[in-house]
Amino acid sequence: MTIINELQLSKDLIRFPSVTPIDAGAIKFLSGKLKKLGFNCKILEFKSKKSKPIKNLYARIGKKGPNLCYAGHTDVVPPGSVKDWTTNPFIPAVKKNHLIGRGANDMKSSIACFVSAVSRFLQKNRKFNGSISFLITGDEEGYAINGTKKVVDYLRKRKEKIDFCIVGEPTNPNKLGEMIKIGRRGSLSGKIEIKGTQGHIAYPHLSNNPINTIVSICKKLRENKLDNGNKNFQPSNLEFTSINVDNKAHNVIPARARAQFNIRYNNLHTSKSLKKKVNLIVKKISKKNKCSYKIDYIANGDAFLTKPGKTIFMAKKIIKKITKINPILSTTGGTSDARFIKKISPCLEFGLVNKTMHRVDECVSLKDLRDLTKIYNYILVEYFK
C-alpha cells in the first residue's frame, strides 16, 4: 500500500485552476488517487437550466457499516489579480514553511490530509470493520445547486447510509485545534423593491417617494430584535447589504427603491418563520405609505446542531492530544455543505486555519498539514476500533 504524502497531494490539487463552476480536471485526478487505494469511485455530474454542469465524486471502500465519510470541495474562489500574489495562485510554492496557493486552506489541503490519513490507516488496517467514503463537490463556493445537495439526494435514493461525516472546512481562527464546528447558523437573503410614483422634485405632493418607505422598512427591520441567542447559538442578526435607487437626476423623485439584506439565524427560527416576519413589516409600512412592494428570497439552509456525542468527544480528545489545545465546540461562521449532509448523517467540521482563506497568498503551515493528517488518522483508528 502506497503512503500518500499530504504536502505533495496538496500541491497537485492546487495546480488545478478549479474556480467554481470549472472543474479543470481536479475531480478526475482525485478519483484516480482514491482508486489506487482501493476505493470504488463514482463521478456524478449534475446540471440544471439556470446553472452550468458540476462534477462531484462519491468514493467508498468497504461494503459494511459503519460508514465514516469525509466531505469537502475541490472548487475555489477566484484569485483576483495574479499580480497581487507573491507566486502564481495555481503554481504552489513553499515559502517560510508555508504552502502558498489558492485552495491551500479552503480546502484542497484538508482533502489531501484526509486522503493521506486514509492511506496510512489502510496500510495497517486493510481488513477494518466498516467503510470509509468521500463526498467531494465542485460547487461549494458557488450556488451549491448541483453539488453536495444533489449528491445527498442521489445517496438517499440509493439508500446509501453514512453513519458519521467529517466536513473538512477550515474551522480554526488562528491555531490548529482551536475549534470544532458542531452546527451552523441558517442564512436567508432577500431583495425588497418598493414602487412609488415618479415626479418632479418641486411638486412632491404629486408623487410618492419610495425612498421614504424603503428607509422606514430598513429602520424597522433593524430595530426588530430577533432573539437573544441560546446555549449553542449567538443571537440572530439581520444586516442590510445594499440600498439602491438608480437615480442620477437631482430634480426627479424616483419610481423605485431597492434594498437587499441577509439574516444569519439560529435554531429558534426557520426560513419560513423569518419570511413571515419580514413580509408582515414590509406589507404594513408599504400599505401605510401607499406603495406597492415585491420581495424575492434566497434561502441557503436552516440552522442545525449535531448533539455532542461519542464521536465528537473522541475527536475533541484526539485534537487536544496532537495540538495541546482543547477545542471549543462552536456554531459560528457562515454556511457550509454540512447543511445538506445533516439530512442523512450527523456531522462535525474540522480542518485547517482559516486566517488566509479567500485572500491573496492563501497559505497553510507545513506543520499544520502534518498535524491535521495525524488527527484524521487517529480519528480513523479510534472510530473503527
Residues acting as catalytic residues: 75, 140
Count of residues in the chain: 385
3-state secondary structure of 327: coil
Per the listing, cell 461549494 goes with 140
Q: Long-range pairs for 35-42 at CB < 8 Å and ≥24 separation?
A: 35/59, 36/2, 37/1, 37/2, 37/4, 37/61, 37/115, 37/118, 37/119, 37/122, 38/122, 39/134
Give the CA distances from residue 76 to residues 14, 73, 83, 107, 346, in Å, rounded to whole numbers and listed in that order: 9, 8, 18, 8, 25
Q: What angle do CA 269, 274, 278 make, to 5 degrees?
A: 155
The set of residues, in sequence order, having a beta carbon less than 8 Å from that of 382 and lying 6+ positions away, is: 314, 318
Torsion angle (degrees, nearest 10) of CA 203, 204, 207, 212? 160
Q: d(Cα 263, Cα 288) in Å, to the nearest integer?
A: 25
